[in-house]
């Protein structure tokens, strides 16, 4: 009788453990849920670091549009933006080596930069692109990012984008 009772309890315990394990598996986040959380975290971090500054500079509406675009991005669209970013970084290094911001490689880099921006901006304008390019040199945080591997890269990219957008002042 005790053995039989023990077998029943063992069976009951095993069943409870399986139920808990099944419930835990169901509670695991899907890749889509993880990606949604990742995007939300990016937005929150950007808002914490730069929110006041970018809202003052571009206005609440433009910042909110950009955040909405990011929130609505699919994983594939985000991966494309990351691919463009990596390609831009590589091409920019090659273009910088030529020393010619008007050259073919630099202009391809400026176009890649435009494509990358369009992943995050609701609408593109040459004026906004040129303004951002100028900020890459004026804002030490941007300059440090672009000049990290090769000093002068931020100025080179600015010049390439100003030529690309037709905003280069002679």
> Residue ranges of the domains in the chain?
74-170
- Band (pLDDT 50/70/90 cuts) for residue 130 is very high
Taking CA 119 as the corner, what is the angle to CA 114 and CA 122, rounded to the nearest 5 degrees?
95
Tokens of residue 29, six digits = 């986040």
Mean pLDDT computed over 77-84: 96
Pick the most confident of 42-51, 116-125, 152-161: 152-161
How far apart are the C-alpha atoms of 49 and 53, rounded to whole Å? 9
CB 115 within 8 A of CB 80: no
Evaluate if residue 109 carries a pLDDT over 90. yes
Question: What's the mean per-residue pLDDT of the chain?
Answer: 88
Evaluate if residue 3 carries a pLDDT over 70. no
Mean pLDDT computed over 20-46: 82
Predicted local distance difference test score (pLDDT) of residue 18: 64
Query: Quick one: angle between helices 140-147 and 126-138, nearest 10?
Result: 80
Q: Helix/strand/coil (H, E, C) string of the chain?
A: CHHHHHHHHHHHHHHHHHHHHHHHHHHCCCHHHHHHHHHHHHHHHHHHHHHHHHHHHHCHHHHHHHHHHHHCCCHHHHHHHHHHHHHHHHHHHHHHHHCCCCCHHHHHHHHHHHHHHHHHCCCCCHHHHHHHHHHHHHCHHHHHHHHCCCCCHHHHHHHHHHHHHCCCCC
Q: Poorest-confidence range of 4-8, 62-66, 155-159? A: 4-8
Predicted local distance difference test score (pLDDT) of residue 23: 62
- Band (pLDDT 50/70/90 cuts) for residue 112 is very high
Evaluate if residue 108 carries a pLDDT over 90. yes
Predicted local distance difference test score (pLDDT) of residue 24: 65
Evaluate if residue 80 carries a pLDDT over 70. yes
**CATH code for the domain defined by 74-170:** 1.10.490.50
Evaluate if residue 11 carries a pLDDT over 60. no
Evaluate if residue 5 carries a pLDDT over 70. no
């Amino acid at each position: 009788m005790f053995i039989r009772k023990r077998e029943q309890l063992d069976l009951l315990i095993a069943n409870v453990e399986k139920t808990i394990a099944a419930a835990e598996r169901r509670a695991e986040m899907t890749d889509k849920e993880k990606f949604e959380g990742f995007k939300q975290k990016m937005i929150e971090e950007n808002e914490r670091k730069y929110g006041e500054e970018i809202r003052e500079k571009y206005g609440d509406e433009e910042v909110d549009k950009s955040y909405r675009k990011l929130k609505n991005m699919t994983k594939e669209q985000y991966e494309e933006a990351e691919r463009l970013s990596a390609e831009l970084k590589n091409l920019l290094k090659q273009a910088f080596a030529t020393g010619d911001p008007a050259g073919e490689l630099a202009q391809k880099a400026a176009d890649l930069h435009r494509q990358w921006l369009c992943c995050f901006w609701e609408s593109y304008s040459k004026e906004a692109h040129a303004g951002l390019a100028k900020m890459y040199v004026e804002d030490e945080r941007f300059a440090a990012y672009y000049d990290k591997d090769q000093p002068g890269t931020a100025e080179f990219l600015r010049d390439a984008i100003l030529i690309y957008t037709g905003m280069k002042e002679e």
